[in-house]
Amino acid sequence: MAQPENQTAPPPSMEQIQQAWNQFTLRIEKLETLNTALEHENIHLRRLLERSVEYRRKSHTDLVNLITTLVSKLPFNDLGGIITRLVEHNNQVVEISAALLGGKIEEAQLQPAILKMLDKTKRDLAAAIKPLVTDLIQMDTPMERAMLESLIVQPEDFFKPSVVRGSRCFVKGHLPRERVIREFGEPALVFFKDLTTDLKYNPRPKPEEIVLGFVADFETILQQNPAAIGEKKEALLALYRKIKESRSSSESARAQKNIFLKLSFILEMLHYYNNQATESPDAVFAQRLPPLIEQLVITGESDSLDEKNIQNAEELLAYVLNSDYRMAIINNLGKAGGLAKTLRLVLTLRTEKAPEPDEAAQEMVKHLIPSGKAPASADIAPVLRLIHPNRLRKVIEAMLATDRITKPEAEALAKAVAQTLHLPGMEGLFRSTGPLSPAKEQELAWNNIKDLIATRATPLDITLAIRKRLHAKYDNDELKASWLVLTESDPLLLIRIFCQLPYLQDGQTDPIARSILESFVSRLTHEKYGEVYQKVVGALKKLHKVKADSPALVNFISLVRWVDAEAANRISNDLGMVPAAA
C-alpha cells in the first residue's frame, strides 16, 4: 500500500510576517544587550584574574627573596643548594603565572643579594686569572707556556691530571717524562733520573705518570755528551737553570712561588663556586686552601710575620663569601704550632667579626707568654701590632688575667705593651686591676689548669702547672681544688698525673708529694667519690687487661701503697691482682 505524500504547510502570508516581525526584533535586541553585558563581565573577570596572578607572582617573588636573605645568614654547609632550589621554585611559579596570562616571562625576576655577590665574585676570580698567568709567563718559569695560557681560556684545565702533575713538578723542581721526550727526545733521558719507578712499591708505573729530575752532575754529563741532543743542548741547559732558579731562595723564586700560590687559590675557589653541588666544602676549605695561605705568608726566610704577606692572604680570603668557610681556612692553619699558629691567631684577631674574640685573645696570650717566664714587651709587640686595633684591648685584658706569670709581672708587661703600641684609654683598665682576692686568684689559677686539660696538653705540662700552684700556696682548699680538677678529667689522665706528681724535673722527689698523694688517695677511697673510684678502677682494669705489667698501672699501685697500704690492697683486689706482701 503506498504511503501518502507529506504535505508541506503553506507559506505564511505577508500579513502574518508583518505581525511577527516586531516580536523577532525585540528578541534580537534583548540578545544583543545580554551579549554586550557578558562581554563586559568577561573583561572585568579577566582583569581580576590578571591582577590576582600578578599579585601572586610578585608576592611569591618577594617572599622567596626574603627567605633567601634570611637563609643566607645561617651557617649551612649546603647554602648554595638551598638558595638554588628556592630560586628554581620561584622560576617555576613565574612560568606558570605567565602561561595562565598568555604572556612572556620577565628576565631576572629574582636576584638575591647573595647570588649577586656570588656572580660578582665569579667574575672577579675569572678576571684575576689572566694577570697572574701573564706574570708567570713574563718571569720565565719552568712551567710550559701553552699549559699556562690554557688556564685563561679554560680554568677547569687546572684540575686535569697532566696540569696537576705539571704543577707539582714546578713546586718540586721536577719534569714530566712526556714533556722531556716531546721537547728533547728520548736521548735526553740520559741526563735525568727516574723519581717514580720503585722496584718494591711501584715497579711498573704508567708512562704518563713518570716524573724525572736532573741528575746531580748534570752540567758535567752534558759537557761529556755534547752530541746527545744536538741543537737542543742550549734549550735543555736553559730549562735546567730555570728550575734551579725557581728552587733557590732568591726574590725571583719567591715571587714565582707567591704568584703560583695565588693562582692556585683563585682556581680552587672558582672551581668550587662552579661545582658546589659536587665539591665537598670540608675538602676545599679545611684541607686544600689552608696550606696555600700558610705557604703564602710564611716564607721560611724569617721568624716573624710580614704584614704585606698577611694582606695578600686577606685579599684571597675575601673571595670566600661564607664567613664560616673563611674561618674554617683560618682555624686549620698552624696545626704544627710555631709561627703558623701565630698566623692563625693574628688572622682571627684581624677579622672584624671574629667569633669568640675573648677566647682567641686568651689563646694568643698563652701562645706568646711561656709558662713561668715573662717575655720582653719588644718581643711580642710586633705580633700584637698586626692585630685589629679593636681587639688589642681584649688581648691586654687577657694578659692582665693570665696565670702563666705572676700578677705583678703580668701588669708590668701589659703596661709596657700598651705603651709600646701607643694604645689610648688603657689607664682606667690598669687602675681597675688591683690585687685580686684569694678566691679570685685561686679560681683563675685552676681555670688555667682546666684549660690545659681541655686543650689536651701533655700530662707532664699539667703536672707541672699543678705542682707550681701547690708550691705557691699549699693548704686544704688548694688540695681540694686540685682533686676536683682531676676528677673532672679523663680517669686515665688522672692516673698519669698521679704517677708523675712525686718526681721533680731533676729526678728528685717533691717534698710535698707524699701529703698530696695521701690527700688524693683518701678522697679516692671515700664513699663520697665512689663514682670517681669506679671510673679509675675501670681505667686500671683496661690497662691490666691490655698489659698486666703496664708502667702506669704498676707505678700507680706502688705510689698508692707508698701512702696507704690498705687502699692499695683494696684496689688490687678490685682489679683481680695479687696484693703485694706487706
pLDDT attached to residue 150: 92
Pairwise CA distance, residues 38 & 29, whole Å: 14
Q: Which residues of 418-457 are buried (b: 16+ CB within 10 A; e: fewer)?
A: bebbebeebeebeeebeeeeeeeebeebbebbebbbeeeb
In Å, what is the CA distance from 444 to each residue of 354, 397, 441, 466?
25, 13, 5, 13
Q: Is 197 exposed, middle or buried (0-12, 13-18, 19+ CB in 10 A)?
A: middle
Q: Would residue 140 count as lying in a domain?
A: no
Percent of the chain with pLDDT over 90: 20
**Looking at residue 156, what DSSP letter applies?**
G
Per residue in 34-61, pLDDT tens? Answer: 888 888 888 888 777 777 777 766 766 7
Q: Would residue 124 count as lying in a domain?
A: no
pTM of the model: 0.64
Pure H helices in 289-433:
289-297, 307-317, 323-331, 339-350, 357-368, 377-384, 389-401, 407-420, 427-431
SS (H, E, C) 112-138: CHHHHHHHHHHHHHHHHHHHHHHHHHH
| More confidently predicted of 12 and 119 | 119
Band of pLDDT at residue 22, cut at 50, 70 and 90: confident
Q: Would residue 241 count as lying in a domain?
A: no
pLDDT of residue 432 exceeding 70: no
Q: Would residue 104 count as lying in a domain?
A: yes
Per residue in 389-406, pLDDT tens? Answer: 888 888 888 888 887 787
Domains identified in the chain, total number? 2
In Å, what is the CA distance from 185 to each residue of 155, 209, 236?
30, 17, 11
Who's near 391: CB < 8 A, 6+ residues apart? 349, 350, 354, 357, 360, 361
Q: Would residue 23 count as lying in a domain?
A: no
Mean residue pLDDT of the chain comes to: 82
pLDDT attached to residue 436: 62
pLDDT attached to residue 76: 47
Neighbours of 483 (CB within 10 A): 19
Q: Would residue 185 count as lying in a domain?
A: no
Look-up: residue for cell 663569601?
A: 321
Q: Which helix (H) or strand (E) holds 405?
A: none
pLDDT of residue 483 exceeding 80: yes
Please tell me the least confidently modeled range out of 142-156, 190-204, 444-458: 444-458
Band of pLDDT at residue 334, cut at 50, 70 and 90: confident
Per residue in 302-314, pLDDT tens? Answer: 678 888 999 999 9
Q: Would residue 298 count as lying in a domain?
A: no
pLDDT of residue 280 exceeding 70: yes
Q: Of 111, 130, 158, which closes a domain?
A: 111
Percent of the chain with pLDDT over 70: 83
Domain that holds residue 511: 438-575
- Rounded to the nearest 10 degrees, how much is the dihedral formed by the CA atoms of 389, 395, 399, 403? 180
Is the CB of residue 334 less than 8 Å from the CB of residue 344? yes
Q: Of 68, 91, 111, which closes a domain?
A: 111
pLDDT attached to residue 582: 46
Band of pLDDT at residue 130, cut at 50, 70 and 90: very high
Per residue in 348-380, pLDDT tens? Answer: 888 776 666 778 888 888 888 876 678 888 888
Q: Is 270 exposed, middle or buried (0-12, 13-18, 19+ CB in 10 A)?
A: buried
pLDDT attached to residue 1: 46
Q: Of 84, 111, 138, which closes a domain?
A: 111
